[in-house]
Amino acid sequence: MRYLTKALSGSALALALASPTIAWAQDGDANAGDEIIVTAQKRSQTLIDVPQSVSVVSGATLEQQGATSFADYLKNVPSLQLVQGTPGQGRLVLRGINTGGVASTVAVYVDETPFGSSTALANAAELAGDFDSFDVARIEVLRGPQGTLYGASSLGGLLKFVTNEPSTAGFEAKALAGAEFTDGGNASWRGAAMVNVPLGETLAFRASGSYRKQGGYIDSIGTAASNVRSNINDFENYGGRASLLWTPDVNLSVRLSALFQNLYVDAPGIVEADPATLEPLYGGLTQSEYLPTFSDVKYRLYNGTVTYDFGGATLTSATSYGEQLQSFRADYTANLSAALGGPYVYFDQLTESRKWTQELRLASNGGDFLEWLVGGYYTHEKARIFQNLKTAVPGTPGVLTPIDLPFELAVFHLDSRYEEVAGFANATLHLAPWFDIDLGGRYSHNSQSADQVTDGALLGAAVIRDVRSSDNVFTWSVAPKIKFGTQTSLYARVAKGYRPGGPNVIPINSPPGTPTTFEPDTVTSYEIGFKGDTADRSASIEASLYHIDWSDIQLAAVVNGFGVNVNGTSAKVDGAEIAATLRPTRGLTTSISFTVNDAKLSGDTDPVAVGAVKGDRLPFTPKYAVNLNADYRWDLGPNIAASIGGSMRSLSRQSGSFDPAYLAAFGHFARVDAYEVIDLRAGLDFGRYSLSAYANNVTNSGGITSTQALLGVAGLPRNVNGALGTGVVRPRTIGVNATVVF
For the chain, domains (ranges, CATH) are: 5-741 (2.40.170.20)
Closest CA to 599 of 578, 612, 613, 615: 615
Q: 321-325, 490-494, 556-560, 648-652: which has the minimum mean pLDDT? A: 556-560
CB atoms inside a 10 Å sphere around CB 221:
17
Q: CA triplet 115, 116, 122: central angle to 5 degrees?
A: 170
Point out the least confidently predicted range of 45-59, 367-381, 520-534, 675-689.
45-59
pLDDT at 5 over 50: no
Instruction: State the Cα–Cα distance between residues 694 and 679, nearest whole angstrom.
Output: 7
Q: What's the rounded Cα separation, in Å, for the pair 53 and 144?
A: 7
| pLDDT at site 34 | 62
**Whole-number percent of the chain with pLDDT over 70:** 93
Mean pLDDT on 643-659: 95
* pLDDT computed for residue 224 by the predictor: 83
Q: How many C-beta atoms surround the C-beta of residue 432 within 10 A?
A: 9
In this predicted structure, the answer to whether residue 29 has a pLDDT above a threshold of 60 is no
Helical H segments across 227-379, by residue range: 333-336
The pLDDT confidence band at residue 716, using thresholds 50, 70 and 90, is very low
Enter the DSSP assignment of 699. Answer: T
Quick one: pLDDT at residue 17?
A: 28
What's the chain's average pLDDT? 89
| Strands annotated E in 168-293 | 172-182, 187-198, 203-214, 220-221, 228-229, 235-246, 252-265, 270-273
Per the CB < 8 A criterion, the answer to whether 697 and 703 are in contact is: no
- With 70 as the cut, is the pLDDT of residue 721 above it? no
- In this predicted structure, what is the pLDDT of residue 12? 30
The pLDDT of residue 606 is above 90: no
What is the distance in angstroms between the CA of the first residue and the CA of the last residue of the chain? Answer: 47
- If pLDDT is split at 50, 70 and 90, which confidence band does 711 have? low
Evaluate whether 273 touches 723 at the Cβ level (below 8 Å): yes
* pLDDT 10s digits, 280-316: 988 899 999 999 999 999 999 999 999 999 999 999 9
Q: How confident is the model at residue 352 (pLDDT cuts 50, 70, 90)?
A: very high
Is residue 712's pLDDT more than 60?
Answer: no
> Quick one: the chain helix, strand, coil %, rounded to 5?
5, 55, 35
What whole-number distance in Å separates Cα of residue 474 and Cα of residue 276? 45
Instruction: Report pLDDT digits (tens) over 176-189.
Output: 999 999 999 999 99
- Give the model's confidence band at 659: pLDDT under 50 very low, under 70 low, under 90 confident, else very high: confident
Q: Is 417 exposed, middle or buried (0-12, 13-18, 19+ CB in 10 A)?
A: middle
- Rounded-to-integer distance, Cα 657 and Cα 83, Å: 10
pLDDT at 710: 54
Tens digit of pLDDT for each residue in 488-518? 999 999 999 999 999 988 777 776 767 788 8
pLDDT of residue 448: 96
> Which amino acid belongs to residue 124?
A
β 571-582/539-551 pair status: antiparallel
- Per-residue pLDDT of 118-156, as tens digits, reads 888 888 888 888 999 999 999 999 999 999 999 888 999
Distance CA 733, CA 356 (A): 40
Residue 155 CB partners (closer than 8 Å, separation 6+): 97, 105, 106, 145, 147, 497, 498, 499, 521, 522, 523, 550
Q: Among 346-360, 412-426, 507-521, name the one with the lowest average pLDDT.
A: 507-521
Q: What number is the average pLDDT over the span 452-478?
A: 91
* Mean pLDDT score, 362-374: 92
Give the integer Cα–Cα distance in Å for 77 and 323. Answer: 28
The pLDDT of residue 8: 33
- Mean pLDDT in residue range 182-205: 97
What is the pLDDT at residue 30?
A: 40
Position 555 scores a pLDDT of 86
Q: CA 262 from chain center: how many Å?
A: 16
Does 25 score more than 60 pLDDT?
Answer: no
Q: What pLDDT does 575 receive? A: 97
Which pLDDT score, from 0 to 100, does residue 406 have?
79
